[in-house]
Chains A and B, each alone.
Chain A
Amino acid sequence: MADGLLIIGSSQAGVSLATSLRALGHDEPITLLGDENHRPYQRPALSKEWLQGEITNEKLMFRTQEYWAEHRIDVVKNERIIRIDKNDDGSGVAHSMSGADFPFDRLALAVGARARRLLLDGVDLPGVLYLRNADDALELKARVPGVREAVVIGGGFIGLEAAASLARMGRSVTLIEAAPRLVPRAVGEQTSAHLLAHHRAAGLDILLGASVRRIVPRGDRVGGVELADGRVISADLVLVGVGVIPNTELAESIGLVCDNGIRVDESALASDGVTVAVGDCANLPNPVPGAPEGDRVRFESVNNAIEQAKVAAYAITGRREEYAGIPWFWSNQGTIKLQIAGLSTGHDRTLVRADPERGKHSVLYYRGDRILAADCVNSPLDFMAVRSALSKGQFIPYDAAGDPSVQLKSVTVDPAALVAAD
């Protein structure tokens, strides 16, 4: 075992895999390889605190240089792998665009996802930006001082976070979403409506059900966005946040099964049984206890990257652990702190707990008597109570949860207690 583990991708999942392995006492060589010319850094703040200048670059770094050196994790920057030769035993060589070779005994793919590009006239004009990595964020931040009017295309997490940040930086912001509501994939209708009211009151101009026909130039750069109804919204900056595409090309090239991500099992092992895939690029069995048999998911979250990397680290060190847990997500949008616990898929009723004066708004999702998930705006107590109940298999009875002055924690019960009461 001279070459050790090669981890392709040095963002949250790759970093978590390397650090988890060392924490478990894994002693083999580890190479952590990234294709950006930056030390491994954290992405979430790029659209929020970092963009607004509240935190420095240094705060984004995952670990000190000393940590990497002491733990003998070989961090390689700025190398993009374009081809992999892999043997049946899982070993092989990865070849980079620069011509460098990276031999490995075992391969881990933490290759993430890339921003989905708009395919419209004008998208190549200067001033049309995406926001996925540090270079995207550096370009955005450098342009903001010269921006008066910004248009954000896409009302998901990235779009809303960036729009709220730009508005707080004094820019006039119009956000365009093609669906009839905000964040249609990640939250329910009641949360969407709450977010819409909040962001409009905070000064964002939000257009729903609006589709973009093309990007309009002004001179040799971006000048506006033309909608399908012919309206043109003037803009000196257009930021596109319309989702991501998992990077599966390398995996496909070495024969790994891919379907909306690299297919892995409960231990984060790909279809060859050896190669590991973790983070945004992985398509995995739904880890929620009691999820329908065969149900698969792909997450774009820090929590998943960390938890899946832990399981992968166990697999690499010869311990088989199955990934089970309650997914959770967060999104800070201006003064809104949105926290989501669980997956609402399959719910048949909802319950709203709201305290408008304090800006608190939670939506709880139930299937029958069982709570599945919650979207919590500025309500950390509700979020923590639901996350905790879900992870312990406890119930939060629907009829007891409606009064926002009653803490959810105080009405949470074990299923056994419910049976006893019947």
Chain B
Amino acid sequence: MPQVTYTDHTGASRTVAANVGDSVMETAVRNGVPGIVAECGGSLSCATCHVYVDPTALDRLPPPEEMEDEMLWGAADERRDTSRLSCQLKVTEGCDLHVTTPTTQV
């Protein structure tokens, strides 16, 4: 199973085995990883699953669509080049991922 590593703003990390096809958000929430709120359950309505993606992985991910891009401008914490909504990031076979959660989601 692919592994997703979540590092919070204090530097604490947790690695979770993820199902292929699940989103990075779902993997976090179902396993109780703090730092991702995901109020809307992945329907791209709330921007409370904001993460910073490891820059080396950025090119491997499909770019954000317009709706995600617009939502990201309203995320509670600073938007960076590596910002994504984790509900839109699907876990793929053989592709481990490392994301950092922001200081706040709301």
Contacts and interface: CB of A to CB of B under 8 A. Distances in A.
A62 B39 contact: no
A328 B89 CA distance: 24
Nearest to A67: B32
Contacts, number: 70
Interface stretch (B4-12, B51-59, B68-76): B68-76
Contacts of A409: 73-74
Contacts of B45: 330, 332, 337, 339, 380
A384 B43 contact: no
Given A381-B74, A384-B47, A384-B73, A67 B40 contact: no
B34 interface: yes
Contacts of A19: 32
A48 to B, nearest CB: 8
Interface residues on A, range: 20 to 34
Contacts of A45: 41, 43
Interface residues of B, number: 23
Contact of A330 (B30, B31, B40): B40
A345 interface: no
Contacts of A59: 22, 26, 42
Contacts of A379: 70
Contacts of A388: 74
Interface string A339-350: 100000000000
B41 A44 contact: yes
Contacts of B70: 379-381, 384
B74 A302 contact: no
A42 B32 contact: no
Nearest to B32: A67
B46 interface: yes
A49 interface: yes
Contacts of B46: 303, 328, 330
Contacts of A202: none
Contacts of B22: 59
A148 interface: no
A381 B31 CA distance: 30
- The residue in A48, A61, A383 that gathers the most chain B C-beta atoms within 10 A of its C-beta is A383
Contacts of B71: 380, 384
Contacts of A380: 44-45, 47, 67, 70-71, 74
Contacts of B41: 42, 44-45, 302
Contact of B31 (A42, A48, A67, A303): A67
B32 A71 contact: yes
- 5 A-B pairs closest in CB distance: A384-B74, A330-B45, A380-B70, A67-B32, A381-B70
11 contacts: A44-B40, A48-B43, A62-B29, A63-B29, A302-B41, A332-B43, A337-B45, A380-B67, A380-B70, A381-B74, A384-B74
